[in-house]
Structure 1
C-alpha cells in the first residue's frame, strides 16, 4: 500500500522500516499501542501536513498521528498504514507582549517547560515526564496548575489546524467559534493541529517530590489522601496518590506539589509523617518536579488504561481501590509479568470555572475527578484477560462510588485521555455529541479523519 509522499518540503520526510528513524516514529510507550506501519512520515511544515492529508484522503489510506506516543489505546495514534510522526514540528515561540507561547505539536511537555523556564513563565501541561502536547491538550489536560487555571484546553488561545481537505487555518474564539469549541476535547475529528497557542502564567520554584511507601502503611496513606481531598482548599497544593501492585508487593507512590518554594504549615504534614521507603522532596524547578517519577518501570510492556469519574475521594472508596488492586494484582500475577496501578487525583470543585464551554467536558456544572487505572503486562496472549479485568475493576469501583452516595457518576463525562478503547463516545461527549456531529459534517464531509484512530464522531 505504499503511496507517494515525495511532494513534501525537502528533506523528504518519508521513512521506511529499513531507516533508523522508523522505529522511533512508530514507537509508543506501551508496546501494545505500537503497530507496524507501511512507512512513517515526518512533516517539517504545516504545508507538509496538508499534503499528507490530501494524499491519504484521496487514496483512502489509513494513518496515525503521533505526538508523544503515550496513549495506551491501540490504533489511537498508530496505524498499519501511514504513521505521521510530528517530531519535526517542535518550535516553541514565547511572546512576552501577549503572554502566550506557540507550541508545535511534536513537543513533549518536558521541552516546553525547559524552554519557558528562563522567562519565569509556565503553561498548563502534563504532570509526568514524556507526555505529548497534542493528545494531552486536545483531550482535556489535567495539570499541576489545574486548580489555579483550569484544564490545558482552557488555556488554548488558538489552534493552527490543517483541515481534512489540506487547508491551513487559524482557529480562535473569534475566527471559528464552532471549531474552537469542538477542538477543545474533540481530538482529531476535524483535522490535524500543528501548533497550539497557549496562555502563559508566572512560574517560580516549586516545592514537592515523591514518597515511596510500603504496603504496611497503606491505611495511613488512605487516611492522609482522604483528608487532603476533603479539607485542602489552597489552589497551589496538589497530590497524586498512586497505588501499585507488582511482583506480589503493594506500594504507594505519592507525589506532593506546592506552587511556591516552600510549603505552608499543615497541608502535607500527614503524608510526611508516614514512614517512607524513599523520598526526594525538595524545592526545585517545575520541570524537575515533573521528572521526579521514573517512567521506565512500565515502559515496553503492554498496557490498558481506564477511568471512573469520581465526585469525591473518600476513605471507603480508597479502601475499595486498595482491595481491587490486591485482588487483580494477585489474580493476574500467574498470567504474565504484571503491574497494576491506580492513580487517585484530587482537584478542587472550582477547576471548571476557569474556562468556557468545550466539547469535553460537556457539563461544567459538576467537576468529576479523573481517576486513572493502568494495567501492564508482557505476554500478548493475555490481552483479552487484561481487557476484561480492567473493565470489571472499573465497574466495581463505579458501583462502590454509587453505594458511597456518588450517584452522579452514572452518566458523568469520562475523561477521554484515560478511558479504555471500546467505550462508546456518548459516554465521553454526552450532550456535546449532537453539535460535534454537525461540525464533522461541516468540516470533514468526506470523513478523511475517519481513516485514523481515536474517539471518532460518526456522520
Structure 2
C-alpha cells in the first residue's frame, strides 16, 4: 500500500548529538524544565539515541508495512511523523525517557487490533512506538510459565506452545496482539474457569514513566500488579508478560451456522449453557448474528471450543445436536486451527465502530437489540462493504470467582452479579462519506441498547475495555473505589504525570 500523499515538516532544527547518546546529554545544560520539541525534532532526536534503522520515516517500505497492518481502516490513515521499532526493554526505556523529557506525543501499538481512531496510532502531532519487533518467548519454571513479549500475536504464542502440549489464557482470534489484549483484561477459552487473561499473569516487566524497568507481581509492587490487570495506557509500557500455562493437546472446536429464524431458540440455549458452566467450564458456546450480504439476509454463526477431544460433551452441550445447522465445521483439532478460523470471520481493513454492553443472562434482550439494529442499519446495508454483527458470550459466575481467587482485578465484578452476557456490536463500512452517519447511528444504537437494558433491570455497569467504543466510560465502569485505587497507583509510579504525552487508550485523568 503506497503512502506518498502526505507532507513532511520541512523545518527540522538540527540537533548536535550522536547515535547512542544518553537522553540527558540531549538537553541543554542546567535545564530543569521539560523541553518542548516539534514532532519532527522528536523523531530526529530518536535517531540519535537509538539505532537509526529503528526510526522509520514516511516513504520507507517498513513504515508503510506497519501502517498497513492495523485492523481498523481508519487507523491505517493516521500518519505519524515517524514510527519507532524498539527491539528490547532498554530501547523502550530510552524512548520513554526522551519523550517525557521532551514533551513528545506518542502512541503505542502491539497488535493494532483496537477498533477506534487514535487507540494505537497517531497523526502528524507525534510518533508511534510499534512493538512488533519485540517477539521473544520462552518457557520458565519447568514450563509452568511462558514469558511473552508484546510484539507477538496469539498465533505466535500458540504455535510456540503447541509442541509442548500447553496453552495459556490468551486471545481466541489468532492475529490479535498480546499487549493490548492483556492490558484490557482479555477473554480466552480458559476464562470461564480461570478468569480474564490478565488474571493469569504472574509477572509484568514494565517500563515506567521515568524510564526505569521494573517487575510487578504479587510479591513486588503488588499495587501496580493489580492495577495493570485493567491498566490500559496509564502506567507504562509492558515489555514482557509472564503467564501461567495449562496442559492442552487436541480439542474439539470449529463453527456452527444457523438460519436466522432459530435466533430465539439459540439464545434460550445460551442461557442454559451458561448455567451448565457451573458443572463444566471447559467449553465456549457463543453466538454472532451477522448481516450476510451474499444472501441478502442475516445468518447466525456460533464459534465453539471444548478443551478436550470430546464432541458435544454432556451435560454442557446437551441438546445442541438437535438444533439444525446450515453448515458445520466442528472437528477434533488443535488450538491454532480454531483461532485461525475465528480470525477469518473478521479479518480487518474496514472502517469500524464497536461497542460493548454487559447484562444479566437473558434471552429476550439480545434478540430485541438485534431487531433494533436490523432496523437502524437497514439504510446502509445495500452499500458494498457495509455490514454489522451482534456477538454474545457468557461471563459466568465461575469466571468472576476465578478472578477473585487470583488476587482480584480492577473490573468491579462480584459473584453477586450472577451469570452475565457480554454483548459486542461491531459495524463495518468502507466509504469515508458514510463516516458521520454511521458513527451517529452507532451512538444512537448504543444509547438505545443501554437504556433498554437499564429499564429492564438487566444492565451491569461493567464495560469490557477490549470491545468498547472510545466514547464509552470504560474506567468509570470499574466503580468509584477501584478508580480511586488505580489513580493512587498512577500517582505513586508517575507522580509528575509524565505519561500524559502517551495518547490513545482509556485515561484515568479523564474519569
Decide which moves more: 291-300 or 193-202.
Answer: 291-300
Moved more, 132-141 or 297-306: 297-306
State the SS of the aligned residue for 1:300.
coil
* Contact kept in structure 2, 1:50 and 1:166, CA below 8 Å: yes
SS of residue in 2 equivalent to 1:12: helix
Aligned pair 1:128/2:179, yes or no? no
**Conserved 8 A contact 2:475-2:508:** no
Q: Which has the larger radius of gyration?
A: 2
SS at structure 2 position matched to 1:153: helix
The more displaced of 238-247 and 366-375 is 366-375
Q: TM-score, normalised by structure 2?
A: 0.84
297, 301, 306: which one pairs with 1:253?
A: 301
Distance 1:162 1:106, change over 3 A: same
TM-score w.r.t. structure 1 length?
0.93
Q: For structure 1, which segment, 160-169 or 323-332, has the greater mean C-alpha deviation from structure 2 after superposition?
A: 323-332
Tell me if structure 1 keeps the 8 A contact 2:462–2:474: no
User: Given the alignment of the two structures, is residue 439 of structure 1 paired with residue 481 of structure 2, yes or no?
Assistant: no
**Corresponding residue number in structure 1 for 2:60:** 19
Correspondence for 1:276: 325
Counterpart in the other structure of 1:375? 427
Counterpart residue number, 1:39: 82
Q: Secondary structure at the match of 1:372?
A: strand
- Indicate which of 376, 386, 406 corresponds to 1:328: 376
CA distance in 2, matches of 1:346, 1:180: 26
Which secondary structure state, in structure 1, belongs to the residue aligned with residue 366 of structure 2? Answer: helix
- The structural deviation recorded for 1:43 is 0.1
Q: 1:331 to 1:358 in 2, by over 3 A?
A: farther
Offset, 1:78: 0.7
Q: Secondary structure of 1:83's partner? A: strand
Contact 2:195–2:399, Cα closer than 8 Å, also in 1: yes
Corresponding residue SS for 2:496? coil
1:149 match: 194
Aligned to 2:354: 305
Q: What is the distance in 1 between the residues matched to 2:197 and 2:255?
A: 23
- The CA deviation at 1:338 is 1.4
Tell me, yes or no, if the aligned pair for 1:185 and 1:359 is still in contact at 8 Å. Answer: yes
Residue 277 and residue 18 in structure 1: after superposition, are their counterparts in 2 closer, same or farther (change >3 A)? same
CA gap of 1:224–1:458, structure 2 versus 1, over 3 A, is same
Distance 1:425 1:279 in 2: 36
Question: Contact 2:276–2:316 (CA<8 Å) still a contact in 1?
Answer: no
TM superposition shift of 1:7: 4.3
CA–CA separation in structure 2 for the residues paired with 1:232 and 1:145: 12
How many angstroms apart in 2 are the aligned matches of 1:77 and 1:324? Answer: 31
Other-structure match for 2:4: none
Shift of residue 255 of structure 1? 0.8
Q: Please report how far the alpha carbon of residue 342 of structure 1 lies from its aligned counterpart in structure 2 after TM superposition.
A: 1.0
**Alpha carbons of structure 1 residues 299 and 167: separation in structure 2 relative to 1, 3 Å:** same
In structure 2, how many angstroms separate the alpha carbons of the residues matched to 1:102 and 1:272? 40
* More displaced stretch, 360-369 vs 38-47: 360-369
Contact 2:226 2:410 in 1 (8 A): no
Deviation string for 1:232-284 (max 9, x for gaps)?
Answer: 53101211211102434201110111111013245435443333332211000
Deviation string 1:24-50 (CA, Å, 9 cap, x unpaired) is 323310112231111111001100001
Counterparts in 2 of 1:399 and 1:435: CA distance versus 1, 3 Å: same
Provide the residue aligned with 1:395 in structure 2: 447
Query: For the residues of structure 2 that align with 1:197 and 1:298, how far apart are their CA atoms?
Result: 28
Task: Tell me what 1:5 maps to.
Answer: 46
CA contact (8 A) 1:232 1:267 kept: yes
Tell me the CA shift for residue 17 of structure 1. Answer: 1.4
Q: Displacement of 1:383 after TM fit?
A: 2.2
- Paired residue for 2:71? 29
Residues 207 and 293 of structure 1, relative CA distance in 2, 3 Å threshold: same
Aligned pairs for 1:346-425 (under 5 A) are 346-355=394-403, 356-365=406-415, 366=417, 368-406=420-458, 409=460, 412-425=461-474
Worse-matched range after superposition: 298-307 or 45-54: 298-307
Report how far residue 166 of structure 1 moved.
0.9
